Amino acid sequence: MPRFSTVDPATADPRARALLGKVERALGVTPNMMRAMANSPAVLDAYLSFSGALSKGRLPAAVQEQIALVAATENECGYCLAAHTVLGARAGLSETDLVSGRHARASDPKVEAALRFARAVITTKGFVSDDDLAEVRGAGYDDGEIGEIVAAVALNTFTNYFNSVGETQLDFPAVDLAVG
């Protein structure tokens, strides 16, 4: 049972209604996570601003979705795993990359290096080793792209924790965390 209530866009305060309308126009739906975030328009605005800024970065959408899968798996967030499986498919990921991405594996060695680095950021709480950094740099990522990987980890950790604390009601097809 959800721990956070969800906000009905029709009865939301004006700021929350405007933000939820932006979500609806962009996605065609208003996911429960964002409806729960709308309890504090500041939280929803922060999430939308952060994710919007990262979408303009150099990491391709498919790589960002794979990082989200790594984070959801490492942080055991079923809601985010389900959401990013759908969003990853929309970004062009194959079923194989959707499943292997959960475990920081990818068909492209450069992408796999990014996913392994993202997992290292999560598991070490940011205290990655020199070898971790050398590996991602050796795969061809520069400091700006490495910063975007760290930012993607931070954004997804926020949503993982938000949904885990709130026990957000799943509105995407369920994905088994143990599969893959």
Confidence of residue 157 (pLDDT cuts 50, 70, 90): very high
Model pLDDT for residues 105-155, shown as the tens digit of each residue: 999 999 999 999 999 999 999 999 999 999 999 999 999 999 999 999 999
Contacts of 153 (CB under 8 A, 6+ apart): 67, 71, 118, 121, 122
**The whole model's pTM is what?**
0.95
Cβ-count burial of 61 within 10 angstroms (0-12 exposed, 13-18 middle, 19+ buried)?
middle
Residue 108 DSSP symbol: S
CATH architecture of residue range(s) 61-166: Up-down Bundle (1.20)
165, 170, 116: which is closest to 139 by C-alpha?
Answer: 116
Which pLDDT value is given to residue 179? Answer: 63
Model pLDDT for residues 66-95, shown as the tens digit of each residue: 999 999 999 999 999 999 999 999 999 999
Cβ-count burial of 127 within 10 angstroms (0-12 exposed, 13-18 middle, 19+ buried)?
exposed
Model pLDDT for residues 15-50, shown as the tens digit of each residue: 999 999 999 998 889 999 999 999 999 999 999 999
Domain with CATH 1.20.1290.10 in the chain: 61-166
Contact 83, 33 (CB under 8 A): yes
Residue 180 in this model has a pLDDT that exceeds 70: no
Nearest-angstrom CA–CA distance, 180 and 177: 8
Which pLDDT value is given to residue 120? Answer: 98
Contacts of 25 (CB under 8 A, 6+ apart): none
Q: What percent of the chain has pLDDT above 90?
A: 94
